[in-house]
Amino acid sequence: MLSDKTILVGVTGGIAAYKAAEIISRLRKLNAEVQVVMTEAATRYITPLTLRTLAAAPVYWDLFGEPKTWNVEHIALAQRPDLILIAPATANTLAKMAAGIADNLLTSVLLATDKPILAAPAMNHHMYHHPATQANIALLKERSVQFIGPDSGYQACGTDGDGRMKEPAEIVAAVQAYFTGISELRGKKVLVTAGGTQEAIDPVRYLTNRSSGRMGYAIAQAMREAGAEVSLISAPTHRPVPAGVKLIAVTTAVEMYEEVLRGYADADVVVKAAAVADYRPDRIAAQKIKKTGENLQLDLIPNPDILLELGKRKTRQILVGFAAETEDLIAQAQAKIRRKNVDLLVANDVTQEGAGFESPTNIVSILYPDGRRKDIPRLSKIEIARILVREIAGILEEKQKE
């Protein structure tokens, strides 16, 4: 049941708009409160009156109309729901979302909201496979929009192909699954580390690595979506901090070590996605080092191994480590599980196309101390993060049973 949920259904202008009626009706039968926002094109396919009657609530589509009560309508609509479902989502609306265009009430709501968005695309298969549409979908996935379908099959234009909207029952099931999934970590305290630490050489130079922070930020976001209280201890990155996540900014491995230990006693889960520099210069030159024409030697001293230390001090926390390898992935990863006393290890071969640093996608294997292993195919980092959250929720559940 969806009794305590408000769902904003965005209906855009494609022939599948007629199926929005069934979606709204099914959501209502599950006791959800439904708000409906249509594009003007959608009102040509199905009348607002039909949807208003099924939703048992006013339907909105006019950005400039006289509001029924005084508020800035697109902002109020953007803030209220627990979830926004766009069904059908046309190629045109997806393109506007990707570009941040707000030229009607629905796209304005979508630009103004920080609520989760599910989209059920519906379009002709040529439009679906067009590189512009594919790029827009990839970008939106990276920004956390979740997609339901599309399906393949008969299309209203008389052809067969990808781009058919999923059936209303499946779309509503995906909405329900979303809400079941997200309560998994409610109230749990999670520390996530991300980014590549920077180890100063002198006032203008530092040693670092290729980490972009994408994987760690995606994990923080997925943890938050699942209801956790998330602190993100991050080395410098260019990534936006996910909504609802507390950022603790650090620069060096030693600073990260101190912050992680500070939060450790209270944490239920620690995910160490950061690429921590194993070494730092033994001293930081006070002034910029001048070139002399001679060879320059840097002496490096070991940094603390944060994860190893956490593994030693572990009481009830779930520890999740990462292993970025360039050879013997699984054997190296298995050795790290034991050495660092982790409950789950995410291993990736950073030399693979579509995996590792700077890539929006990753290919990982999830390894458990008992030898179980799950190989995950190439997926966006946020999709991998959501899979990890489910695995971690599973470990927590097992622990609670003990």
Give residues 215-254 in contact with ligand CTP (rule: CB under 6 A): 253
Residue 164 CB-density burial (10 A; 0-12 exposed, 13-18 middle, 19+ buried): buried
Residues 278-317 as x/- pattern, contact with ligand CTP by CB under 6 A: x------------------------x-xxx----------
Q: How far is the CB of 366 from ligand CTP (least distance, A)?
A: 13
Could you tell me how many residues of this chain bind ligand CTP (CB under 6 A)?
Answer: 14
Task: Select from 14-22, 26-34, 164-172, 273-281 the region that touches ligand CTP (CB under 6 A).
Answer: 273-281
Give residues 177-196 in contact with ligand CTP (rule: CB under 6 A): none
Among 36, 274, 329, 367, binds ligand CTP (CB under 6 A): 274
CA atoms 350, 356, 357, 358: torsion sign: positive
Q: Closest CB to ligand CTP belongs to which residue?
A: 306
Q: Name the one residue in this structure whose structure tokens are 């209801």.
A: 227
When the beta carbons of 179 and 279 are compared against ligand CTP, the nearer one is 279
- In 265-360, at which residue ranges do the beta strands (DSSP E only) sit? 269-272, 279-281, 300-302, 318-325, 344-349
**Distance (Å, rounded) from C-alpha 35 to C-alpha 58?**
7
Produce one character per residue of 319-347: b if its CB has 16 or more CB atoms within 10 Å, e if not.
bbbbbbbeeebeeebbebbeebbbbbbbb
**Distance (Å, rounded) from C-alpha 25 to C-alpha 13?**
19
Q: Does residue 323 bind ligand CTP (CB under 6 A)? A: yes
Q: Does residue 22 bind ligand CTP (CB under 6 A)? A: no
Phi first, then psi: give them for residue 288, nearest 5 degrees.
-55, 130
CB atoms within 10 A of CB 291: 6
Residues 35, 54: contact at Cβ < 8 Å? no
Q: Does residue 9 bind ligand CTP (CB under 6 A)? A: no
Q: Does the active-site annotation cover 18?
A: no
Q: Does residue 322 bind ligand CTP (CB under 6 A)? A: yes
When the beta carbons of 84 and 253 are compared against ligand CTP, the nearer one is 253
Local structure of 161: helix, strand or coil: strand
Closest CA to 63 of 27, 101, 34: 101
When the beta carbons of 101 and 376 are compared against ligand CTP, the nearer one is 376
Q: Does residue 35 bind ligand CTP (CB under 6 A)? A: no
Q: Does residue 59 bind ligand CTP (CB under 6 A)? A: no
Residues 7, 175: contact at Cβ < 8 Å? yes
Q: Does residue 324 bind ligand CTP (CB under 6 A)? A: yes
| Active-site choice (56, 138, 157, 169) | 157
Q: How far is the CB of 134 from ligand CTP (least distance, A)?
A: 33
Residues involved in catalysis:
157
The residue ranges that bind ligand CTP (CB under 6 A) are: 253, 272, 274, 276, 278, 303, 305-307, 321-324, 336
